[in-house]
Homo-oligomer: A and B are copies of this chain.
């Protein structure tokens, strides 16, 4: 009978059911402490038994007894008298990351797994859940730039290529979108080539400002800190932070632009510096709010909030930052 519990293949990938093992010590509530100890004595010499599970006639889980309770009980007491009733249990179809949030404070060595009717169908060791959790969380930074969580250091390059390449082609398409913004203003760039020099500066700053916001938001989602009533405050905070960061770095960049434009004897050095400042402050504010909005939107759409979030984010920041910068220059100078 135990064999059927091991058929984890029936449960979805990444679910608790896939990590299940058979429960080694299952008793009726009428069994006495002495009976349980004598029955288990030969078992514990070769199997690690952590809890005694108590089930009813339908195999529904009614209680759990730790050996601590067995040690303090009288030999004639019944399990039903000393057990913890209505114990915590996991469902086989629950995703590991969701289960992890339920068990992080409990940290039991072993969790019972029950089906929809409450029947005990197996156990999952806490260590297995947490190994899985470290595996999942450590995959997030890669997911942001299009790395599958299955990819490990030992993954052969052909397989790594198959995992990573599609996202790079998607990134290329989005990069063309950003490039087309520059293309729109080719005439302006042609007249003021100094603008081309500042494109990587602006793009790099916005991308980094946005990625800071993205990383903080994703981490908050992972650690379960993003409540429905906190998203508005989060979006405002990241907009403001992006603006202040952009204004301060924009000031330095504007000084650099002014110096360079004067050096090249450009007649409108001050205007170029002002445009650099406004473009940096404005597009960093937008990068900040986009960094928080992208994973929230992905989650609302039912997708994994980390997957390719960095790719979507940099497209948005590139388009806005270069559009604002070159658009202002075209409007005010050229």
Instruction: Check A189–B193 contact: CB distance below 8 A.
Output: yes
Picked from B71, B145, B209, B230, the residue with its CB within 8 Å of the CB of A71 is: B71
With a CB–CB cut-off of 8 A, which chain B residues contact A219? 138-139, 141-142, 152
Instruction: Check B311–A220 contact: CB distance below 8 A.
Output: no
Q: How far is the CA of A230 from the CA of B106 in the complex (A)?
A: 38
Q: How far is the CA of A245 from the CA of B164 in the complex (A)?
A: 8
Least Cβ–Cβ distance between A57 and chain B, in angstroms: 26
Picked from B134, B164, B180, B190, the residue with its CB within 8 Å of the CB of A212 is: B164
Residue A79 is within 8 A (CB to CB) of chain B in the complex: no
Instruction: Check A241–B160 contact: CB distance below 8 A.
Output: yes
With a CB–CB cut-off of 8 A, which chain B residues contact A256? 176
Residue A216 is within 8 A (CB to CB) of chain B in the complex: yes
Tell me the number of copies of this protein. Answer: 2
Picked from B72, B190, B318, the residue with its CB within 8 Å of the CB of A41 is: B72
Residue A80 is within 8 A (CB to CB) of chain B in the complex: no
Least Cβ–Cβ distance between A272 and chain B, in angstroms: 14
Stretch of A11-19, A88-96, A195-203 that contacts chain B: A195-203
Residue of B nearest to A201 (CB): B175
Residue of B nearest to A128 (CB): B107
With a CB–CB cut-off of 8 A, which chain B residues contact A165? 245, 248
Residue of B nearest to A186 (CB): B193
Instruction: Check A171–B104 contact: CB distance below 8 A.
Output: no
Instruction: Check A107–B134 contact: CB distance below 8 A.
Output: no
Q: How far is the CA of A330 from the CA of B234 in the complex (A)?
A: 47
